[in-house]
Amino acid sequence: MEAHYYNVNLSWIADRKGKMVSPELNDTIEVATPPQFPNGIEGIWSPEHLLTAAVVSCFMTTFLSIAENSKLEFTSFDCPAKGKLEQVEGKFLMTEILMEPTLVITKESDKDRAERILQKSEAACLISNSIKSKVTFISNIKY
């Protein structure tokens, strides 16, 4: 497979806020310093939110691909994720991403297979594999 490139342009707006656009995408995203830092702004996506979102959205798209290829029937997928920011040896690091997917399957007999597909999706997620943060995964399968 050839290398793929994903283009993003960030422009400073004012204070601790900027806007991100991509020539490949339709939407603009505002990004700012989170409110836990000096002059941070509430209610706007932060780099910490975006990193957490990158991990969980990659997990979902990987799951959807593997589930489709495995012909797993499900009616719902929901995955809250929480990124943990800590100061380690004087540096701020996103040390952990906790994902807690809930998957509703159509047949109880698919429960073990669904768990294996979720685990395989977590292991194959290219964003999770690209970061040094610990990725913790707690699944909940319903039928």
Structure tokens at 63: 């799951």
Strand runs labelled E in the chain:
9-14, 17-21, 29-32, 74-78, 81-88, 91-99, 102-105, 134-137, 140-142
With tokens 């964003």, the residue in question is 127
**pLDDT tens digits in sequence order for the chain, 143 residues long:** 899 999 999 999 999 999 999 999 999 999 999 999 999 999 999 999 999 999 999 999 999 999 999 999 999 999 999 999 999 999 999 999 999 999 999 999 999 999 999 999 999 999 999 999 999 999 999 99
Distance CA 4, CA 107 (A): 38
- Is the Cβ–Cβ distance between 80 and 100 less than 8 Å? yes
- Angle subtended by helix axes 47-70 and 111-124, to nearest 10: 130
pLDDT of residue 109: 98
Three-state secondary-structure class, residue 78: strand
pLDDT of residue 49: 98
Tell me the one-letter amino acid at 63: F
Structure tokens at 32: 């700012």
With tokens 């540096």, the residue in question is 91
Structure tokens at 112: 């073990």
DSSP state of 82: E
With tokens 């100061």, the residue in question is 87
Structure tokens at 39: 């002059």
